[in-house]
């Protein structure tokens, strides 16, 4: 009897250890385990032509790289709608205890009256001049960023969270201000910047339902039920939604539409980079702890790998990206080329010491290897050849900073973002 039971038990133990081992093997947390790799050269076209002028970059290599990122990584998004319908649903010139103006705007993402609506919340300093403005998506709805009873509670599907006051995927009053530590609105406004934000789930709810809800179905061809392998996943959809917010912002006289800085954290940091790469109207880009599929080099496989991200979040990228699971070297692009697509505009890559899952060193290297493109375009690249020390920000036009602490957005991070924007968009001293 004993042996009959002992055998399957042993098998179970062995396969459990095997699985654990396989899982442990997948996550690289030691530089010594990073495989050797060769990066594609952003300044060599697919046919081997060396890219030696700004013109060749703009006419040959940039479109080629855009096409490759669309086809192999994020998926191609639809063109911008011809016109954008919006309605200012709420407005106050006496927000934040009289320090700011507040606007809430419903932006219709399609011409279907039942289609998704992006609810944009805007805080602006009280000035007669159009202001430079940060555009950032949020994770839990606009009401989560600030305890302000005038902000409409989100109506879309939300990820359940007792802490944030989300019950049965719906917002409760407890949501108000639940994420405010990440959103120092008063400080931003006091420094002369506007802040525009919208809930990413208004564009596409962040779960894998094979693209039945959210924006995707509105663009299906006759008979189509999900995006093709080279069509937009959720990150591309969120980025596309940011561009629709920018459509609105560019025709709002209170906002300086030529100085909108797209910023995002984590999966929304990946989104900010792709939004900045695909929409040159964004004047500057800030990626916070964006990691795999964001600023980190995929070929390093440090922390989160392509296989892990495609398995945990099958809806984020296009289906073609799964070809590179455990096969990163075969991908015709790597993430330094995503940053290169932002050139010559200012771009700041931000890491955190304890955020090893996002591979801080890989994030630095992406900026480093994007630098030659900035230089070819006649502007300053990353002013550091080596990974800078913690809390020693390199705020060159292509910048990099690593701070102590965890995967998060802190008030001190926003101080850096504004210092960076002051220097590179407003021409104020660094």
Q: Determine the Cα–Cα distance for residues 284 and 223; give it in Å rounded to an integer.
A: 39
Query: What is the nearest approach in angstroms of ligand GTR to the Cβ of residue 147?
Result: 23
CA distance 343 to 358: 23
Helix (H), strand (E) at residue 134: strand 131-138
Question: With binding defined as CB under 6 A, does residue 309 bind ligand GTR?
Answer: yes
Q: Judged by CB, which is closer to ligand GTR: 286, or 384?
A: 286
Which residues in the 363-422 window bind ligand GTR by CB under 6 A?
Answer: none
Footprint (CB under 6 A) of ligand GTR, residues 20-79: none
CA gap 275, 277 in Å, rounded: 6
Nearest-approach distance from CB 289 to ligand GTR, in angstroms: 8
Report the residue number, 251 or 312, with the smaller CB distance to ligand GTR.
312
* CB of residue 303 to ligand GTR, shortest distance in Å: 9
> Catalytic residue at 424?
no
Would you say 146 or 287 has its CB closer to ligand GTR?
A: 287
Give the whole-angstrom CA distance, residue 359 versus residue 297: 8
Task: Measure CA of the first residue to CA of the last residue in the chain; give whole Å.
Answer: 77
Beta strand pairing status for 85-95 and 100-108? antiparallel
DSSP 250-310: HT-TTEEEEEEEEEEETHHHHHHHHHHHH-TT--EEEEES--BTTTB-GGG-BSS-HHHHH
Nearer Cβ to ligand GTR, position 86 or 313? 313
Please state, in angstroms and rounded to a whole number, the distance separating the CA atoms of residues 92 and 152: 13
User: Measured from the CB atom, is 283 or 350 closer to ligand GTR?
Assistant: 350
In the complex, least distance from residue 137 CB atom to ligand GTR, rounded to whole angstroms: 11
Q: How far apart are CA 155 and CA 139, in angstroms?
A: 13
Helix (H, G, I), strand (E, B) or coil at 384: coil
Element spanning 55, H or E: helix 54-56
Q: How far is the CB of 290 from ligand GTR (least distance, A)?
A: 7
Separation of alpha carbons 215 and 134, rounded Å: 24
Cβ neighbour number for residue 204 with a 10 Å cutoff: 26
Nearer to ligand GTR (CB atom), residue 337 or residue 355: 355
Q: Which is nearer to ligand GTR, 291 or 360 (CB)?
A: 291
- By rule CB under 6 A, what count of residues binds ligand GTR? 6
- Cα 276-279-280 angle, rounded to 5 deg: 85
CB of 285 to ligand GTR, least distance (A): 17
Quick check: is 407 catalytic?
Answer: yes
Calpha distance 242→234 (Å, rounded): 12
- Residue 331's nearest CA partner among 298, 293, 305, 364 is 298
Tell whether residue 301 is a contact of ligand GTR (CB under 6 A): no
Smallest distance, ligand GTR to C-beta of residue 356, A: 12
From residue 261 to residue 280, what is the string marking binding to ligand GTR with x (rule CB under 6 A)? -----xx-------------
* Single residue of 235, 292, 394, 409 touching ligand GTR by CB under 6 A: 292
Is 291 an interacting residue with respect to ligand GTR (CB under 6 A)? Answer: yes
Of positions 304, 328, 337, 422, contacts ligand GTR by CB under 6 A: 304
CA-nearest of 233, 218, 309, 304 to 271 is 233
Dist CA 340 CA 337 (whole Å): 5
The single residue of 77, 144, 266, 278 carrying the catalytic annotation is 266
Instruction: List C-alpha distances in Å: 7 to 1, 14, 15, 17, 303.
Output: 10, 10, 12, 15, 36
| CB nearer to ligand GTR: pick between 206 and 279 | 206
Q: How far is the CB of 25 from ligand GTR (least distance, A)?
A: 18
What would the x/- binding string for ligand GTR be over residues 237 to 266, using CB under 6 A? Answer: -----------------------------x
90: tokens are 């709420």
Which stretches of the chain bind ligand GTR, using CB under 6 A?
A: 266-267, 291-292, 304, 309
Q: Which residues are catalytic?
A: 266, 407
């Amino acid at each position: 009897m004993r042996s009959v039971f002992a055998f399957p038990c042993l098998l179970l133990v062995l396969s459990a250890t095997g699985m654990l081992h396989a899982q442990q093997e997948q996550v690289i947390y030691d530089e010594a385990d990073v495989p050797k790799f060769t990066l594609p050269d952003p300044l060599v076209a697919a046919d081997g032509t060396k890219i030696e002028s700004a013109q060749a970059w703009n006419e040959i290599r940039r479109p080629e790289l855009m096409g490759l990122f669309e086809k192999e990584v994020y998926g191609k998004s639809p063109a911008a709608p011809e016109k954008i319908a919006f309605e200012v649903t709420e407005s106050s010139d006496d927000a934040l205890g009289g320090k700011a103006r507040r606007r809430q705007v419903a932006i219709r993402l399609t011409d279907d009256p039942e289609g998704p609506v992006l609810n944009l919340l805007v805080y602006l300093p009280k000035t007669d001049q159009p202001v430079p403005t940060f555009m950032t998506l949020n994770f839990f709805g606009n009401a989560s960023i600030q305890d302000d009873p005038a902000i409409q509670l989100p109506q879309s599907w939300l990820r359940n969270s007792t802490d944030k006051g989300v019950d049965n995927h719906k917002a409760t009053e407890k949501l108000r201000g639940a994420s405010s530590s990440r959103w120092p609105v008063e400080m931003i406004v006091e420094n002369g910047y506007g802040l525009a934000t919208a809930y990413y789930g208004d564009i596409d709810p962040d779960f894998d339902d094979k693209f039945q809800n959210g924006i995707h179905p509105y663009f299906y061809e006759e008979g189509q039920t999900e995006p093709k392998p080279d069509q937009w996943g959720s990150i591309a959809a969120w980025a596309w939604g940011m561009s629709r917010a920018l459509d609105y912002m560019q025709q709002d006289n209170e906002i300086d539409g030529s100085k909108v800085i797209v910023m995002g954290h984590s999966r929304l940091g990946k989104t900010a980079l792709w939004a900045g790469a695909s929409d040159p109207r964004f004047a500057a880009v800030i990626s916070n702890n964006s990691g795999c599929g964001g600023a980190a080099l995929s070929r390093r496989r440090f922390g989160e790998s392509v296989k892990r991200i495609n398995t945990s979040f099958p809806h984020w990228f296009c289906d073609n990206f799964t070809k590179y699971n455990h096969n990163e070297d075969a991908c015709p692009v790597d993430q330094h080329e995503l940053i290169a697509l932002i050139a010559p505009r200012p771009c700041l890559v931000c890491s955190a010491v304890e955020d090893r899952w996002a591979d801080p060193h890989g994030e630095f290297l992406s900026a480093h290897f994007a630098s030659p493109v900035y230089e070819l375009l006649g502007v300053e690249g990353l002013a550091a050849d080596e990974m800078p020390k913690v809390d020693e920000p390199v705020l060159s036009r292509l910048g990099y900073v690593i701070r102590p602490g965890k995967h998060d957005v802190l008030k001190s991070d926003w101080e850096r973002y504004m210092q960076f924007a002051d220097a590179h968009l407003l021409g104020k001293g660094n």
